[in-house]
Structure 1
Amino acid sequence: MTSIDGLPPLREVIERHGLQARKSLGQNFLLDLNLTGKIARAAGELSGSTVIEVGPGPGGLTRALLMHGAGRVVAIERDERCLAALAEVAAHYPGRLEVVSGDALKADFAALADGAPSRIVANLPYNIGTELLVRWLTLPQWPPFYQSMTLMFQREVAQRIVAKPASDAYGRLGVLAGWRTEARIAFDVPPQAFTPPPKVTSSVVHLVPRETPLPADVKALGRVTEAAFGQRRKMLRQSLKSLGGDRLLEAAGIDGTRRAETLDVEEFVRLANAL
């Protein structure tokens, strides 16, 4: 029996290679090729692009990306158990899949893109997803090496990424994403779509870099948002005390009695520049 792409069904691949998902690696495998195809389509036009994928596991999303025309897929996989299954996918799509065995947190993604038009598409391992996103949002060079990011997160994290001021989900992640990208939730994925099913709903987020975001020092913006949202229930004059408090707020023209969640991205940029 074969799947719609001519390869064996993923359940068979997992059983044959002994690929039970490991919680320590944040693994939850997507087995429905119709669903992985929906993620691939949400990423936009893939032909002629290099697609970078993190945590391909047995290769469900990898197969969908190749089937939907990705010119080249670079898949970074830390779990060596998955390499044999990915090698079978590479053999089915000669010259189009490069598997990198290693830790995504140590990868040079721009070098992997190798100057080609690139997109990042991934069902990110839950335990490193937010850290990777922050790294991709705070690259020193902007516009970045990628044209878009289409990423799976727990729904709670996805809501924080797209959150607007004055909402409960608004925080550091929303400021960073709103500063440098246009971000939206493309669709939700129920727990039962995964093996094993997680306890929460997941969401696919699509982010497109802004060509000219407001100028700000990345590190200063990080410090300001971390301090402000670290004590989000306090007035800014108190939460930003370690960074200058009233003096900093006065320089940025912001009322110190306000709280972090009321500031928009432009106001956080003013604080970063004042710092």
Structure 2
Amino acid sequence: MPTLRLPPLPNIREVLKMYHLRAMKQLSQNFILNENLTDKIIKRAGVLSDCHVIEVGPGPGGLTRSIIKREPEKLIVIEKDKRFEPSLEMLADAFAAVNGKMEIIFGDVMTFHMENILPSTETKTCTDKSPKIKIIGNLPFNVSTPLIIKWLRAISEKTGPWKFGRTRMTLTFQKEVAERIIAEPLDAQRCRLSVMAQAWTRPILHFIIPGTAFLPKPDVDVGLVTFVPLTVPRTKHEFPIFEKVTRHIFSFRQKYSIRGIETLFPAEYRTELGQMMYKLADLDPQKRPMTLTVEDIDSLVSAYKYLLEKYPNLKFYEYRTSRHIVSLSQTKNIEVVQCIN
């Protein structure tokens, strides 16, 4: 595919020297210097022409150059560190010289409302093709997991960039995190993140980038993952309760899955209600967490919601706090054991 020819620019290593830029360890910054590699990464994001592209954490602009060469309709970069302003402005000027549009926003992506910078004309329904909006980022390791959980919730609720439809993301993660995201049932890497990602998206691990490709070199390799939102999610439940049950299941990942489920309930009702959940879900309580499918967990969430309706005070119970609830038998004037029989 032909790419846009930009005016002559210093390479990223030269840019770092020009502006005296160094990666900040406290921000988990690692720069990609090889332009052939950044081109390969951006190629995996798909066609960018006519798209509104949001790049998260561009740093000195390594990936940004490769995005620009793909001629997006508009490129918006969101950067937390203002030290990169000169290098990003240089790229914006170069893109403008060939009639491109690039906007630089300095802010924290964890709190930034991306829907405010996207045109409503790009809106598609969840059954349509993906909108012409792409999110791309070489994410700092210290925010990658909380950020993807935040975005998965937005996908489930059709908010943020996902109010426009099934917006795709192509992001970097530590190799171990990338492998967990795509881990299927029976895989030893399967965890809460695997289930959450696969409930609302189809995650694709494209390739592994060696740590030597970054400056400074991280202690781990990096995986490139694309998230394709599903037309029909694999769960019918709301994100918070689905995440809560999944989190409890994997809190004792080496034990039977019922061990984690039991922590949803006060100690005096734990055994009875845990068994009841598995009866309602028609699942074996001795299944290990990593063997459960998204659909299995969806069934357990349905069972948990049934118990919340029957015993409303259960929703106030938190396993890791000292908070107590009143007797369930007082709430419904019935013993739990009677419900199971």
TM range (shorter): over 0.9
CA distance in structure 2 between the partners assigned to 1:114 and 1:220 by the alignment: 32
> Contact (CA 8 Å) 1:151, 1:204: kept in 2 or not?
yes
CA distance in structure 1 between the partners assigned to 2:157 and 2:75 by the alignment: 23
More strand by share: 1
> Contact (CA 8 Å) 1:74, 1:97: kept in 2 or not?
yes
CA distance in structure 1 between the partners assigned to 2:112 and 2:288 by the alignment: 37
- How many aligned residue pairs are there? 272
Structure 1: unaligned runs, 5 residues or longer: none
Give the corresponding residue for 1:198.
218
Give the corresponding residue for 1:180.
200
2:291 to 248, 259, 262: 262
Give the corresponding residue for 1:89.
91
CA distance in structure 1 between the partners assigned to 2:190 and 2:80 by the alignment: 32
Give the corresponding residue for 2:260.
239
Alpha-carbon shift at residue 78 of structure 1 (Å): 0.6
Q: Which moved more, 1:145-154 or 1:176-185?
A: 145-154
1:249 to 252, 267, 278: 278
1:34-88 CA distance string (max 9 Å, x none):
1111111100010111111111000110111011122211111111101111011
Percent of aligned pairs with the same amino acid? 36
Alpha-carbon shift at residue 9 of structure 1 (Å): 0.8
Alpha-carbon shift at residue 256 of structure 1 (Å): 1.2
Alpha-carbon shift at residue 168 of structure 1 (Å): 1.1
1:136 to 151, 158, 171: 151
CA distance in structure 1 between the partners assigned to 2:143 and 2:173 by the alignment: 10
After TM superposition, the score normalised by the length of structure 1 is 0.94
User: What secondary structure is seen at the aligned counterpart in 1 of 2:263?
Assistant: helix
Any residues of structure 2 matched to 1:1-275 within 5 Å, and which?
5=6, 6-94=8-96, 95-115=100-120, 116=122, 117-139=132-154, 140-142=156-158, 144=162, 145=164, 146-214=166-234, 215-243=236-264, 244-275=273-304
> Contact (CA 8 Å) 1:217, 1:273: kept in 2 or not?
no
> Contact (CA 8 Å) 1:56, 1:62: kept in 2 or not?
yes
> Contact (CA 8 Å) 2:45, 2:226: kept in 1 or not?
yes
Give the corresponding residue for 2:310.
none
1:78-136 CA distance string (max 9 Å, x none):
11101111011111112521111011111112223333321111111111011111111
Structure 2: unaligned runs, 5 residues or longer: 123-131, 265-272, 305-341
Stretches of 4+ moved more than 6 A in 1?
none
CA distance in structure 2 between the partners assigned to 1:114 and 1:228 by the alignment: 40
User: What secondary structure is seen at the aligned counterpart in 1 of 2:91?
Assistant: helix
Alpha-carbon shift at residue 273 of structure 1 (Å): 2.4
User: What secondary structure is seen at the aligned counterpart in 1 of 2:186?
Assistant: coil
Higher relative contact order (CA 8 A, sep 6+): 1
> Contact (CA 8 Å) 1:54, 1:122: kept in 2 or not?
yes
